[in-house]
Amino acid sequence: MTAPKKKKEKRIGLFVCHCGVNIAGVVDVEKVAETLKDYPGVSFSTNYVYMCSDPGQQMIIDTIKEKHLDGIIVAACSPTLHEKTFQEAARLAGLNPYQIEIANIREQDSWVHTDGARATKKAIKIVKSHVEKALQNENLEPIKVDVTKRALVIGGGISGLQAALDIADHGYEVVLVEKNPSIGGKMIQLSETFPTLDCSQCILTPKMVEVSRHPRIRLLTYHEVDSISGFVGNFKVRIRKKPRYVDERLCNLCGECEKVCPQIVPDEFNMGLSFRKAIYMPFPQAIPGTYTLDAEHCLGLSPVRCGKCKDVCDKKAIDYDMKESFIEEEVGAIVVATGYDLYTMQALGEYGGEKYEDVINGLEFERILSASGPTGGVVRRPSDGKIPKSVVFVQCSGSRDTEKHNPYCSKICCMYTAKHAMLYKHRVPDGQATVFYIDVRTGGKAFDEFYQRAVEEDKVLYIRGKVSKIFKEGDKLIVWGADTLTGKKVEVEADMVVLAMAMVKADGIMDLLKKLKISTDINGFLAEAHPKLRPVESLNAGFYLAGCAQGPKDIPEAVAQASAAAAKVGDLFAQKELIHEPTVVPVNDELCSGCGICIAVCPYDARSLDPERGVAVVNEILCEGCGACAAACPSGAAQQRNQTDEQIFSMLRAMLRE
């Protein structure tokens, strides 16, 4: 690395723009050009009515060539508008684009001041500072880095599956990692989906099959991401393969093992409403189609083994000696589609979710409604299997609560509650469905019509008010609420209560995110780069977000977001190589003492200590050029390219000295 450049005799050109009367109406542009004609370093100075116009640009190009200029200042409008324009013009003239300086004498001068004389004085100061900077600007080349055109998708729910399919259909390889024994996420647990009342499993399973058959998708179920290193375009991922104890290639789903297994475990797929064995298949359409041995609940694998399942396996697919192993994958982009969980009913003690079996959450009700669920699709209540004649649905359970629970709206509950109430009425026509709501939010396509159907056709009773308490009296659940529209307290006797619990960040996500080092918002959902304009990217380059991991949303939105994330990944992969702004902060080895302060200060982990040479090293691709390390460096070894301390001092001198 070289020492900071000394000011050489550069030939700087100054072009002061009138911008019609926008600048010239207040600032005496001719005076500015005239005054600075003889400033040290300025070889050429002129003014023109519209620098951004074609003739204006041509003038710049011609002048650079004729006068052999090493750098130019365009004193005009804000750089946010035409910096690229003039950089392009300079490039055409053979000048390095980083030798262009834009002096803002419009938005920050002529447009905000009325005193022409003082505005002109200020313009001169501003231009002088840019001349000083230009005299020390170096030629810079954008940093180029290769991109590994393979993607990692974390999560095998609808969002992960959609993103994987889209990326793979683009022609790139995808590694899809899912921690559960099968893909399908939460959507596979649903009975019907709003607003069409499509059978959820019927629309999801074809996608699941497509993923499993896709030649470019490597499906890794029962795997978890262990660690990630590297940077955008060049990630190295370590993935842990959990031992299934069943060889999925050999298992033929005969089910004999399940029959003989003596261990009974609450079935998580059915939300604990039924039981499974320790060796099990989560649901019939599971992909991959194989049994899995749940070691945690198995009677024992070592040293004493029950062994019953292995004895009856014809295919010899069961192997108790399987061990955890690790795989390394290299990818260029990572899509995080890790989904959500439901807020725990324990937090709402007053609703009795933990106390009473018949107070359930939305996913439990989905399993009850499901034809493949624990009750075969007949609506029965969990405690005694009775068909409930009165069901109360409580919206906003744990959502929209700024005092104790989650302040945000979980978005889907109004729609799925209407769906639940409708489906209940379809199956128990003489039953009473009552919904307690604060608002009914039905913003999607055909959503409001769906809700009106519930009210008008299926005669679901909607009461506007919150529920304060739910308790059992004899055989019934008493629900206390309010009817705010009549101003009265309401007491409903129910056989069963369904709570629309808030959608919260997925359990165990924080551990994963620490490994990924991507940021979350205040509620634990993944933070998007910009709330309005960049909804599927993370601020951490190379990471993309899809689905409920980024925030509560319904299936159509999740699919849209997944495809959007896939498109962004496509953007990344379409580039031959990644171009990174070179205005980063390199390390001057000669001055660096290896104190490590810059390393601690960098928000992008771009700097590290070279143990052999005892100096800091910077990964220029990760460095975003914020300059925090430059300010923190005690020896001046960290200097930002084209905004070094020397440049800053020169600029200050020029601007402030009379």
Partner 1 sequence: MKLHYYPGCTLKEKTTALDISTREAMKRLDIELVEPEGWTCCGAEYPLTEEKIVGLAAPIRVLRQVREEGGDVVVTTCSFCYAVLKRANRAIQQDPLKHKRINAYLRDDIKINEWTKEKTTGFEDYNGEVKVLHLLEYLRDRVGYPRIKSRLKRDLKGLPIAPYYGCRLLRPADEMNMDEPDSPRVFEEFLEAVGCKAVDYPFKQECCGSYLSVSLPAAATEASYRVLRSARMNEAKAIAVTCPLCFYNLDHRQEAVKETFLDFPGLPVLFFTQLLAWALGVDKALLGLKEHSVAADGLFDAHQAAEVRS
Partner 2 sequence: MFEPQIMCFICKWCTATAADMAGTSRMHYAPNNVNMRVMCSSRIDPQHILYAFKQGADGVFIGGCHPGDCHYVEGNYKTLRRITLFKIMLQDLGIDPRRLRLEWISAAEGKKYAETMDEFTEQVRAMGPLQLNEKALTSEVTKDE
- Residue 594, by phi and psi: left (phi above 0), alpha (psi -120 to 50) or beta? left
C-beta of residue 176 within 8 angstroms of C-beta of residue 329: no
Draw the binding track, 57-86, toward partner 2 (x: CB under 8 A; -: no contact).
Answer: ---------------------xxx------
What is the chain's alpha carbon radius of gyration, rounded to the nearest angstrom?
33
Select 207 or 405, whichever has its Cβ closest to partner 1.
Answer: 405
**Of the ranges 176-184, 367-375, 470-478, 519-527, which one interacts with partner 1 (CB under 8 A)?**
470-478
478 binds, among partner 2, partner 1, none (CB under 5 to 8 A by kind): partner 1
Q: Measured between alpha carbons, how far is 462 from 455 in angstroms, rounded to an integer?
A: 8
Q: Measured between alpha carbons, how far is 425 from 432 in angstroms, rounded to an integer?
A: 8
Q: Which residues contact 238 (CB under 8 A, 6 or more apart)?
A: 225, 226, 227, 228, 326, 327, 328
Draw the binding track, 631-650, toward partner 1 (x: CB under 8 A; -: no contact).
Answer: --------------------
Select 378 or 478, whichever has its Cβ closest to partner 1.
Answer: 478
**100-121 as b/e, with b when 16 or more CB fall inside 10 Å?**
bbbbbbbeebbbebeeeeebbb
Q: Residue 52 — φ and ψ, nearest 5°?
A: -80, -10
As measured in angstroms, the least distance from the Cβ of 366 to partner 2 is 37
3-state class (DSSP) for residue 14: strand
Q: Which of 34, 88, 107, 448 binds partner 2 (CB under 8 A)?
A: 107
The reply on whether position 473 binds partner 1 by CB under 8 A is: yes
As measured in angstroms, the least distance from the Cβ of 344 to partner 1 is 14
C-beta of residue 549 within 8 angstroms of C-beta of residue 525: yes
- Both structure tokens of 658: 């009379």
- Both structure tokens of 192: 């019907």
Q: Which of 126, 208, 309, 345 binds partner 2 (CB under 8 A)?
A: 126
Select 159 or 647, whichever has its Cβ closest to partner 2.
Answer: 647
**Of the ranges 210-218, 277-285, 373-381, 466-474, which one interacts with partner 1 (CB under 8 A)?**
466-474
The reply on whether position 487 binds partner 1 by CB under 8 A is: no
Q: Which of 7, 91, 469, 517 binds partner 1 (CB under 8 A)?
A: 469
As measured in angstroms, the least distance from the Cβ of 589 to partner 2 is 21
By the 10 Å C-beta count (0-12 exposed, 13-18 middle, 19+ buried), 402 is classed as exposed
- Both structure tokens of 359: 């107070």
As measured in angstroms, the least distance from the Cβ of 523 to partner 1 is 21
Select 39 or 471, whichever has its Cβ closest to partner 1.
Answer: 471
Query: How many separate helices (H) and strands (E) can be counted in the chain?
Result: 16, 32
Q: Measured between alpha carbons, how far is 238 from 226 in angstroms, rounded to an integer?
A: 5
Draw the binding track, 557-586, toward partner 2 (x: CB under 8 A; -: no contact).
Answer: --------------------------x---
649 binds, among partner 2, partner 1, none (CB under 5 to 8 A by kind): partner 2
3-state class (DSSP) for residue 120: helix
278 binds, among partner 2, partner 1, none (CB under 5 to 8 A by kind): none
**Of the ranges 87-95, 103-111, 351-359, 438-446, which one interacts with partner 2 (CB under 8 A)?**
103-111
As measured in angstroms, the least distance from the Cβ of 651 to partner 2 is 6
- Both structure tokens of 240: 């842990």
C-beta of residue 563 within 8 angstroms of C-beta of residue 169: no
125 binds, among partner 1, partner 2, none (CB under 5 to 8 A by kind): partner 2
The gap from C-alpha 255 to its chain's centroid, in whole angstroms, comes to 40
567 binds, among partner 2, partner 1, none (CB under 5 to 8 A by kind): none
Q: How many residues bind partner 2 (CB under 8 A)?
A: 46
Q: Measured between alpha carbons, how far is 116 from 135 in angstroms, rounded to an integer?
A: 28
Q: Measured between alpha carbons, how far is 198 from 192 in angstroms, rounded to an integer?
A: 5
431 binds, among partner 1, partner 2, none (CB under 5 to 8 A by kind): none
Query: Which segments within 97-191 are labelled E, that is strand?
Result: 100-104, 143-146, 150-154, 173-178
CB neighbours (10 Å) of residue 384?
10
583 binds, among partner 2, partner 1, none (CB under 5 to 8 A by kind): partner 2
Q: Which of 312, 478, 539, 626 binds partner 1 (CB under 8 A)?
A: 478
The reply on whether position 39 binds partner 1 by CB under 8 A is: no
**Of the ranges 16-24, 127-135, 464-472, 518-526, which one interacts with partner 1 (CB under 8 A)?**
464-472
The reply on whether position 657 binds partner 2 by CB under 8 A is: yes
Sign of CA dihedral 13, 18, 19, 23: positive
Select 125 or 244, whichever has its Cβ closest to partner 2.
Answer: 125
By the 10 Å C-beta count (0-12 exposed, 13-18 middle, 19+ buried), 258 is classed as middle
Q: Measured between alpha carbons, how far is 648 from 651 in angstroms, rounded to an integer?
A: 5
Q: Which of 108, 263, 372, 608 binds partner 2 (CB under 8 A)?
A: 108
**Chain residues 598-627 in contact with partner 1, contact rule CB under 8 A:** none
Q: Which of 140, 295, 306, 632 binds partner 2 (CB under 8 A)?
A: 632
**Chain residues 328-387 in contact with partner 1, contact rule CB under 8 A:** 349-350
The reply on whether position 539 binds partner 2 by CB under 8 A is: yes
The reply on whether position 314 binds partner 1 by CB under 8 A is: no
DSSP H or E stretch at residue 467: strand 467-473
Query: How far, CA to CA in Å, does 265 sit from each of 10, 354, 428?
Result: 79, 19, 31
The reply on whether position 295 binds partner 2 by CB under 8 A is: no
Select 297 or 472, whichever has its Cβ closest to partner 1.
Answer: 472
**Chain residues 485-524 in contact with partner 2, contact rule CB under 8 A:** 519
Strand partners, 53: none
Strand partners, 340: 505
As measured in angstroms, the least distance from the Cβ of 26 to partner 2 is 10
The reply on whether position 106 binds partner 2 by CB under 8 A is: yes
**Of the ranges 248-256, 299-307, 437-445, 599-607, which one interacts with partner 2 (CB under 8 A)?**
599-607
Select 473 or 612, whichever has its Cβ closest to partner 1.
Answer: 473
The amino acid at residue 226 is D
Cα–Cα–Cα angle for 343, 545, 511, rounded to 5 degrees: 55
Which residue blocks in 323-432 are alpha helix, DSSP H? 362-369, 413-427
The gap from C-alpha 604 to its chain's centroid, in whole angstroms, comes to 17
Q: Find the Cα–Cα–Cα–Cα dihedral 364, 284, 297, 240, rounded to 10°.
A: -100
**Of the ranges 42-50, 65-73, 289-297, 618-626, which one interacts with partner 2 (CB under 8 A)?**
618-626
227 binds, among partner 1, partner 2, none (CB under 5 to 8 A by kind): none
Q: Measured between alpha carbons, how far is 44 from 47 in angstroms, rounded to an integer?
A: 10
The reply on whether position 114 binds partner 2 by CB under 8 A is: yes
**Of the ranges 362-370, 427-435, 561-569, 619-627, which one interacts with partner 2 (CB under 8 A)?**
619-627
Binding site for partner 1 (CB under 8 A): 349-350, 469, 471-473, 478
Binding site for partner 2 (CB under 8 A): 78-80, 104, 106-109, 111-115, 118-119, 121-122, 125-126, 129, 519, 539, 583, 601, 603-604, 624-628, 630-632, 640, 643, 645, 648-649, 651-653, 655-658
